[in-house]
């Protein structure tokens, strides 16, 4: 898989360079708080064992630009910009089912299955000959998940269209985002904070490989091969059986304090991914449900966690799926993004 260097901030994982040539689990005594998060991070007096393959993967991602901690994360693009760019040097990939694609898609778009994308990028197209490669789906969350993986692979010209095809025209929105909006669980919201669990380590990757580049290729191959069928999870599923999930709120603290899913633990944007001190507190024995305001950012995060072996899902439609009226009420003070008619355009589709 082709990789190119992407500008970004480096991970604070200096210990990796000392362990890169070794094998087996290694004690990582870097369980320190992330940036500006001293009071919230889990701190352990004992070193936590981190699989050396995990350290090699972290170092490889660092060497290739640390996308998840860069200014380009998350890489979203508005439908209006896509429309204005039609006829230009862009390539649009539609991840929806062949049936939905045949019923109406953006002019010039190609329909590709998620599982086939690595091969398509390697042999089907010349990715860097396009100014932008734009991924679209029903609601923007699967395309966000996909772009996170592609960017981590080095394809720095990929973008996810915000709100998905729901932002393209009203007919598609009525079957997507407008249908997904709900205030169903607003009465359950809590304001109490929940501490992160004690650090217990990270999943073992068990690829049997010895270099970061090889491990990266194998992990990307595996994540794509697993498909996208269980990437998304609904609010109804989470509320029906909450003890089965470790719920991760990926938002600003004031938004978390305004109201969150009962039991949800906040993980700070920009100070979680790539830090073993933070990721080690995510229990690998449970399904990790990541959510944010719209489901876009959490989809990017979910891709990263799955790359490291976590069974992570993104909450479909984010807060919009269970507290949209609450978001509308506090939109001005907390800059919530409730989906609305203002986000829907009147752009044509072709069949």
CA distances from residue 226 to 43, 107, 150, 160, 309 in whole angstroms, order as listed? 34, 29, 15, 20, 12
Q: What is the mean pLDDT of the chain?
A: 89
> Would you tell me how many other CB atoms lie within 10 Å of the CB of residue 238?
23
Q: Would 351 be classed as within a structural domain?
A: no
Cβ–Cβ < 8 Å for 333, 71: no
Rg of the chain over Cα atoms, rounded to whole angstroms, equals 20
Cβ–Cβ < 8 Å for 264, 288: no
Lowest mean pLDDT among 31-35, 169-173, 296-300: 31-35
> In the prediction, which pLDDT does 174 show?
96
Question: Quick one: DSSP state of residue 269?
Answer: T
**Residues facing residue 233 across a β-bridge:** 315
CA 30 to chain centre: 25
CATH code for the domain in which residue 155 is found = 3.40.250.10
What percentage of the chain carries pLDDT values higher than 70? 87
170: pLDDT strictly greater than 50:
yes
> In the prediction, which pLDDT does 30 show?
44
> In the prediction, which pLDDT does 46 show?
63
pLDDT, one tens digit per residue, over 82-131 is: 999 999 999 999 999 999 999 999 999 999 999 999 999 999 999 999 99
Q: Would 344 be classed as within a structural domain?
A: no
Q: Would 131 be classed as within a structural domain?
A: yes
> Would you tell me how many other CB atoms lie within 10 Å of the CB of residue 82?
23
Give the residue with greater pLDDT, 114 vs 6. Answer: 114
Contacts within 8 Å (CB) and 24+ apart, 303-307 = 303/145, 303/146, 303/148, 303/149, 303/152, 303/223, 304/68, 304/148, 304/152, 304/273, 305/273, 305/279, 306/223, 306/226, 307/57, 307/149, 307/152, 307/219, 307/220, 307/223
End-to-end CA distance of the chain: 33
> Would you tell me how many other CB atoms lie within 10 Å of the CB of residue 123?
8
Residues constituting the chain: 351
Q: Would 203 be classed as within a structural domain?
A: yes
Q: Would 236 be classed as within a structural domain?
A: yes
Q: Would 142 be classed as within a structural domain?
A: yes
Q: Would 246 be classed as within a structural domain?
A: yes
pLDDT, one tens digit per residue, over 61-88 is: 999 999 999 999 999 999 999 999 999 9
> In the prediction, which pLDDT does 25 show?
54
Q: What is the pTM of this model?
A: 0.88
pLDDT, one tens digit per residue, over 182-234 is: 999 999 999 999 999 999 999 999 999 999 999 999 999 999 999 999 999 99
Residue 224's domain spans which residues? 7-337
Residue 279 phi, psi (nearest 5): -65, -25
pLDDT, one tens digit per residue, over 10-47 is: 333 333 333 333 335 555 544 333 333 333 444 444 67
The domain total for the chain is 1
Q: Would 349 be classed as within a structural domain?
A: no
């Amino acid at each position: 898989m082709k990789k190119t260097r992407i500008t970004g901030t480096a991970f604070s994982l200096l210990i990796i360079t000392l362990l890169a040539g070794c094998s087996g689990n290694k004690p990582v005594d870097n369980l320190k708080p992330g940036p500006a998060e001293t009071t919230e991070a889990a701190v352990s007096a004992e070193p936590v064992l981190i699989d050396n393959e995990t350290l090699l993967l972290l170092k490889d991602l660092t060497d290739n630009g640390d996308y998840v901690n860069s200014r380009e994360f998350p890489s979203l693009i508005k439908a209006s910009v896509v429309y204005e760019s039609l006829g230009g040097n862009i390539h649009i990939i539609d991840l929806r089912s062949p049936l939905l694609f045949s019923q109406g898609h953006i002019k010039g778009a190609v329909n590709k299955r998620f599982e086939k994308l690595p091969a398509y990028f390697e042999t089907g197209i010349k990715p860097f000959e396009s100014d932008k490669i734009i991924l679209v789906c029903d609601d923007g969350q699967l395309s966000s998940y996909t772009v996170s993986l592609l960017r981590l692979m080095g394809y720095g010209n990929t973008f996810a269209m915000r709100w998905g095809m729901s932002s393209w025209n009203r007919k598609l929105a009525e079957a997507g985002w407008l249908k997904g909006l709900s205030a169903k669980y607003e009465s359950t919201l809590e304001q109490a904070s929940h501490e992160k669990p004690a650090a217990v380590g990270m999943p073992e990757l068990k690829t049997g490989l010895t270099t970061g580049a090889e491990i990266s290729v194998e992990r990307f191959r595996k994540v794509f091969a697993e498909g996208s069928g269980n990437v998304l999870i609904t609010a109804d599923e989470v509320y029906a059986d909450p003890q089965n999930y470790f719920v991760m709120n990926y938002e600003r603290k004031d938004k978390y304090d305004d109201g969150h899913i009962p039991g949800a633990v906040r993980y700070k944007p920009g100070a979680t991914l790539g830090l073993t001190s933070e990721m080690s507190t995510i229990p690998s024995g449970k399904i990790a449900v990541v959510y944010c305001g719209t489901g876009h950012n959490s989809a990017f995060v979910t891709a990263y966690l799955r790359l490291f072996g976590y069974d992570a899902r993104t909450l479909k439609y984010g807060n919009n799926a269970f507290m949209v009226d609450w978001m509308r009420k506090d939109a001005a003070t907390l800059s919530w993004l409730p989906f609305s008619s203002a986000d829907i355009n009147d752009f044509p589709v072709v069949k």
